[in-house]
Amino acid sequence: MSYPVRRLRVVRADPSILHVDLDAMFAAVEQRDKVSLRGRPVVVGGVAGRGVVATASYEARAFGVRSAMPTAQARRRSPPNTAFLSPRFAAYKKTSEVVMRLLAGVSPLVEQVSIDEAYVDLAVTANDLSTAGVTELALRLKAEIAEATGGVTGSIGAASSKLLAKIGSDLHKPDGLTVVPPGAELAVLHPLPVSRLGGVGPATEQRLHRSGVRTVGDLAAVPLELLVDWFGTAHGTGLYRLARAQDDRPVVSEREAKSVSAEETFDVDVTDPVRLHRELDLLAARVAGRLRGNGLTGRTVNIKVRHHDFTTVTRAVTREQPTDDGRLIAHLARRLLAEIDTSGGIRLLGVGVSALADFAQDDLFSGAFAGAAGDVFGPAELFWAGAPEPGLLAAAAPGTPAGGTAGPAPAVLGGFATGAALPAAGDAAAPAAPPDSAGSAAADPAAADPAAADPAAAGPAFAAAPDPTGPAAAASAAGSASVAGPASAGPAVAGSVERPEPGPEEPPRAPGGAPSVTWRPGQDVRHEEYGAGWVCGSGLGRVTVRFEGPLTPPGPSRTFAVDDPRLHPTDPPDWTAPADVP
């Protein structure tokens, strides 16, 4: 079918909204700071067997690796020279701050949506807002971003609405620019697949496809009454408006937090109710600590439970008065968990608090609740908000699996396959042999017996050979989810079930035990003799480090004992400072 494209009456008469989106930001920062990885496939995310890809470089995307893909699947698809790295959020934040300062210099009205994207409103500036003027400004801004960040590129969309600006920034990635002239919105929007619209997820897309609706133009031809019948009033009306490019959302410079939450992903599906309760207590303590640290309280407590098949179930309860008490949050979370069948095993568990306020009125109740804490927590299970969380910083000793039983811990170290002779500590590591085929991939870590894996081991960073080790440790990153709770007074319970595509989630935490040194692949380190570098991989009591930086030539790799006193974690390198690596 063809659809007539009519000139659209929009709120703005010029392309005065920019959407700036950094290209594969995490991977781009890694390639900037690790010169030997430039031009090579890089995957950033959880490197454990249950880890999920956060970002893949465009070299990795050529092999089908995508964000939100399980790391095990990414390893199967990746060529042998792919680097699998844990996130370095300090480095990404530093780069993001540089970009946001640049955007603030363009307009005082900047809405930062995430660490790597933002909207910029040009209407409040004295800039030329013609299509040619906005194009010139955007090209100049792209060049400034690349120069200020040491080569990290950004794609920009410019249009009369947020909807079209965001879609435009994605049309010609990487390092792209799309300016939608006023009146051309439908000509750009209607040929696109419906999945390009922000309100169309996998479930909505499948429902539309069953009705023959595949493009935005097809969606625009569907009557409002039919969309409301399919999706309900709110979602149906929203889709109707989006298909017509009717988006008058303003650019908002300050965004208030809507929820505070924490999640935990497990190496192996958990069925033990005692352990699930223990995890809820720890998560509740983390959430309470964040609430108090920001001077917030909340009325709605929610949990998120993800089963082995990625089916996600949420439950929520709303109280009359807000709280920041970790014990009460844990108590309510346990009640909610009791409503969910966990016998098949739980992959992910999350606790959140929403309906936030900046005051609390339940002090009397909290005091009474503390007196009955023994009914909720065991004698050794009271974790006060803000106190250190037992087990969070502990890691299993090499060769010790999640269950605590000693076992083998094979690994690939800086290009050395399991079984090969490891270099002596301090010796230069021999380079990995070039891959025979770009299409071959590492063995699936999830296929290994989890009981024989070492989740505390940080390697391997590279898929240089089939990896029989199973999961390796990933960087810690807390996820968050916003759950809207009923506004009525008194307890009210709500729940939902969804089946989304797997998304990035918090990597598994090491079990409690004696602290030991853990080196994560990609981690910034400094050696007292050799200078700054980054961890290629670790295991079997050894850690391999490549000594190079963003302003040096590709550097040598050396292997040390994991507890070498001369090796220390350090801050991310400065891509603008002179190199100090010998």
Catalytic residues, which ones? 117
CA-CA distance, 471 to 456, in Å (whole number)? 9
The amino acid occupying position 347 is R
| Type and span of the H or E element at 59 | helix 58-61
Please give the structure tokens belonging to residue 7: 């000139």
282 SS3 class: helix
The amino acid occupying position 232 is G
Give the angle 335-341-346 at the CA atoms, nearest 5°.
Answer: 95
Please give the structure tokens belonging to residue 532: 């700054």
Question: In sequence order, what are the residues at sequence separation of 6 or more whose Cβ sits closer than 8 angstroms to the Cβ of residue 531?
Answer: 547, 580, 581, 582
User: Exposed, middle or buried, 490 (CB in 10 Å: 0-12/13-18/19+)?
Assistant: exposed
Residue 325 annotated in ligand binding: no
Place of tokens 């082995």: 308
**Residue ranges of E strands in 324-452:** 346-357
Q: Which of 177, 154, 148 is nearest to 25 (CA)?
A: 154
Any idea what DSSP says for residue 84? E
| Kind of pairing between the strands at 42-45 and 154-159 | unpaired
Phi, psi of 490 (to 5 degrees): 85, 165
Please give the structure tokens belonging to residue 531: 């200078």
Residue 341 annotated in ligand binding: no
165 SS3 class: helix
Q: Do 381 and 374 contact (CB within 8 A), yes or no?
A: no
What is the crossing angle of helices 326-337 and 363-371, to 10°? 70
Count of CB atoms situated within 10 Å of the CB of 112: 18
Please give the structure tokens belonging to residue 534: 């980054």
Residues at the annotated binding site for Mg(2+)?
A: 21, 116
